[in-house]
Amino acid sequence: MTEKIRVAVIGARGIGKHHAKWHHISGAEVVAFVGTSEETCGQTEGILRGLFDFRGKGYWDMDEMLRSEHPDVVDVCSPATVHKTHVLKALEYGTHVLCEKPLVWDEEKSAEEMLADGREMVAAAQDRGRMLGICTQYAAIRPCYEEIYREHRGTLGRIERFSFTIESKGKAGRKGRAIWVDLGSHPIGALLAWIPEGVVDAERVEGALSADRVVAQFDVLAGSGDRSAVQIVTANAPKGSPPRRHIGLNGFVVDVEGKADEQGIFRTVLHHEGAERWSEDLMHTTIRRFLEAVQEDDEARICATGAVGLRNLELQIEMLEALEKLHPQFGEWGLGRAEGGRNNPKSEIRNPK
């Protein structure tokens, strides 16, 4: 593919507008977006034109957009309840697909049903020979983190401890389980970047929860038999305070923030004891590498493939169900509203084949 990659974004008012911007900065041509109505499309078009030189067209019918624009890549930023519908439709038209996290999530479905949806999406991409990526952008943090780690401690060896804290400005009504659903895939994505074949020791799961904070603690066993202690904290940021985000391996904790550089380009910055490391914005890296994978026909360049996104979803559900079992009050925010109730994570959590 020698010409610019043609990209269409499904849902470009929220996080999708930033995806569109990074596609443009990464050298792709954003030819279209899909909204919910003629009115909202007009509003979104104005937003995109304010972010970059957008010359594409807004649609409120995905089929019409696909027939008219023939994009090479569809970036799915719609609500997680309709990810499956939009991903499968894009794959039917022969496009590559980048999908926001989590791969799927539907409150009206059981865990087993959601995992089946995720497997169907991954299988559809494989059957059609198209690439499917998932936007868990913290999967891209490893190179920059290891650079600052080497400066202070040398080469990172076996991972004995992994910790990740991520706060976000609380959305209206978001509590407990909803916090985990919204944020949990990010630290899991980073964990899988270092321990991709890790399996949770079901006997070593602990945690704590409140309306504004969920803590999951568990051990992960690597293929070599090595054991890593993991702590993940997802939370609403305290009112009036900026969200905190930090990652630590073997006790070496690095604060993560995003800010603009001297040219006004938003970047990711890692901090440790006065030292700073600047890198591309992690979403920028995720999108750039997906476009490179399409351009070069090299799936290995994708930060998190659909199969990794499925494994991420499996772990997110497994931890949620374990916390629910440990804390009966968590059941009020529980999974599995569909008939048949909750599922046994031991019977349904599988590594993708």
Tokens matching residue 299 = 């799936």
| pLDDT reported for residue 223 | 78
Q: Where are the domains of the chain?
A: 6-137, 141-280+305-348
Q: What is the mean pLDDT of residues 28-41?
A: 95
At 330 the pLDDT is 59
Q: Enumerate the β-bridge partners of residue 200.
A: 220
Predicted pLDDT of residue 4: 95
What integer pLDDT is reported at residue 327 of this predicted model? 76
Alpha helix (H) residue ranges in the chain:
15-25, 38-51, 62-69, 83-92, 111-128, 142-153, 177-183, 185-194, 282-296, 306-326, 345-348
Q: Identify the pLDDT of residue 2.
A: 55
Q: What is the mean pLDDT of the chain?
A: 90
Look at the block and give the residue holding tokens 């704590």.
208
Give the pLDDT confidence score for residue 329 in this predicted structure. 63
CB 307 within 8 A of CB 185: no
Distance from first CA to last CA of the chain, Å, rounded?
30
Token pair 């994570």 in the structure block, residue: 345
pLDDT in tens, 132-174: 999 999 999 999 999 999 999 999 999 999 999 999 987 777 8
Residue 8's pLDDT band (boundaries 50, 70, 90)?
very high
Q: What is the pLDDT of residue 249?
A: 98
**Continuous segment of H or E residues that includes residue 99:** strand 96-100
Q: Please report which confidence band the pLDDT of residue 338 belongs to, taking 50, 70 and 90 as the band edges.
A: very low
Question: How far is residue 299's CA from residue 138's CA, in Å, rounded to a whole number?
Answer: 18
The whole-number pLDDT of residue 349 equals 25
pLDDT in tens, 171-228: 777 888 889 999 999 999 999 999 999 999 988 899 888 889 999 999 999 878 899 9
- Residue 334, pLDDT > 70, answer no
Is the confidence at residue 7, as pLDDT, over 70? yes
Q: Angle CA(163)–CA(168)–CA(173) in degrees, nearest 5? A: 125
Please state, in angstroms and rounded to a whole number, the distance separating the CA atoms of residues 126 and 110.
Answer: 25
pLDDT (tens digit, 9 = 90+) per residue, 278-317?
A: 999 999 999 999 999 999 999 999 999 999 999 999 999 9
What is the domain class of 141-280+305-348 according to CATH? alpha beta
Dihedral (Cα; 232, 234, 238, 239), 10-degree rounding: 160
Task: Using a pLDDT cut of 90, give the percent of the chain over it.
Answer: 80
What is the reported pLDDT for 171? 77
- For residue 325, CA distances in Å to 164, 212, 297 come to 23, 19, 44
> Which has the closest alpha carbon to 177: 107, 81, 100?
107
Instruction: Give the contacts of 335 (CB within 8 A, at least 6 positions apart).
Output: 110, 111, 177, 317, 320, 321, 324, 342
Task: Provide the 3-class DSSP secondary structure of residue 136.
Answer: coil
8 and 76 Cβ atoms separated by less than 8 Å: no
pLDDT digits (tens, 9 = 90+) for 65-79: 999 999 999 999 999
CATH fold for the domain made of 6-137: Rossmann fold (3.40.50)
Chain segment 55-111, per-residue pLDDT in tens: 999 999 999 999 999 999 999 999 999 999 999 999 999 999 999 999 999 999 999
Kindly report, residue by residue over 212-251, the tens digit of the pLDDT: 999 999 999 987 889 999 999 999 999 889 999 999 999 9
**pLDDT at residue 323 in the model:** 86
pTM above 0.85, yes or no: yes
Residues in the chain: 353
- As a whole number, mean pLDDT of residues 321-329 equals 80
